[in-house]
Amino acid sequence: MERMRRYGRIAVPILIAGIALLAGVGLIWRTAEAARIPAGAQRALAGSGGVTAKTFVKLSAADTIVASTAVTDSVVGVCELTASANANTMYAPVGSITTVTSGELIAVGNLLTSGTGGKAFVLDTDDTSTQRVCAVAMTAASGADEDTTVLIVAGTAEQRIYHQSYDPNTSVTLGVPVELVFMPDTAHKTIGYLVPAAYDLLVLDAIGWKTAGAGDNAADQWELKNGTGGTNIFDTEELNTVADKAMVQFDNLDDAQYEVEGGTYLELVGGEDSDDDGVDGIVIVTVIFKAAD
């Protein structure tokens, strides 16, 4: 009995020491976790599927967050504590600087959107659809699944690409300025663009560059016409003495001729020397389409 009492006295301090050690480990873990969570982090409940730390999240209900996995999601922040569904968690809101997991190669300064798994992806500037910008990269990532420091923001990116190459016969956008590019050369004195029948075309401006044969021929000229062999929309642009690669501005828009009807041609007509060939160059005409009268 005396021996058991002695062992008992020893066991109690050991048990107390063990509990204290575990508590210390827990305190260290909580201290480290707290140090990672930015000031101003918001408390929330994890929604369906749970949430993962260092990924973008959105609201599914008041004070409830779920993973944000699409570029169209309205991101509210970055999850700071992994949690299963209906468990308490926290997230860093808009305006915070925190860490997110990369989904691909990221450079400093890239605008980021959310994607698969709530990871960070670079804004696709070639995508003409609406995208939600949710962060700005403050550090780089060489690929997927790396920690990236970001500033959480909220914005919408909508790319409106007007100066792309496309066929206005099938892709007309009413009321939006577009540029028609004519590329005349010695073999093509006249180049025409047929206006789609359902629309009228309004000419706003025209500029050009002569690319060969610096003007030494009196007949070097360009004319932009309303209709086949029609009336000039601008004054004749005389190219004699114009240096190669020098820009020329078409002048004096005729407000009685700037509207080209659907089903007719907008024509660029050139002339060069006694052979009456075309003039090598590039002419860009800025226009707007509208519904036909």
Q: Does the pTM of the predicted model rise above 0.85?
A: no
Question: Does one domain contain both 84 and 128?
Answer: yes
Of 127, 158, 189, the residue at which a domain comes to its end is: 158
Ordered DSSP codes for 89-129:
EEEEETT-EEEEEBSS-B-TT-EEEE-GGG-EEE--TT--S
Given this model, what pLDDT does residue 228 score?
85
Query: Could you state, in chain order, the average pLDDT of each consecutive group of 10 residues for the chain (293 residues)?
Result: 50 47 43 60 94 96 95 94 95 93 94 95 79 91 96 72 45 78 76 88 90 63 89 89 82 92 90 62 89 84
CATH number where 215 lies: 2.60.120
The total number of structural domains that make up the chain: 2
Classify residue 282: in a domain, yes or no: yes
Classify residue 261: in a domain, yes or no: yes
In sequence order, the 6+-apart residues with CB closer than 8 A to the CB of 280 are 184, 185, 186, 210, 211, 212, 213
8 A C-beta contact, residue 219 and residue 269: no
Question: Does one domain contain both 238 and 130?
Answer: no
Selection from 117, 89, 119, 93 nearest residue 104 by Cα: 119
Question: Does one domain contain both 196 and 127?
Answer: no
**Domain, as residue range, for 247:** 178-291
Given this model, what pLDDT does residue 166 score?
44
Of 158, 193, 214, the residue at which a domain comes to its end is: 158
The torsion defined by the Cα of 108, 77, 66 and 79, in degrees rounded to 10, comes to 80
How many CB atoms are located within 10 Å of the residue 146 CB? 19
Given this model, what pLDDT does residue 177 score?
86
Given this model, what pLDDT does residue 127 score?
72
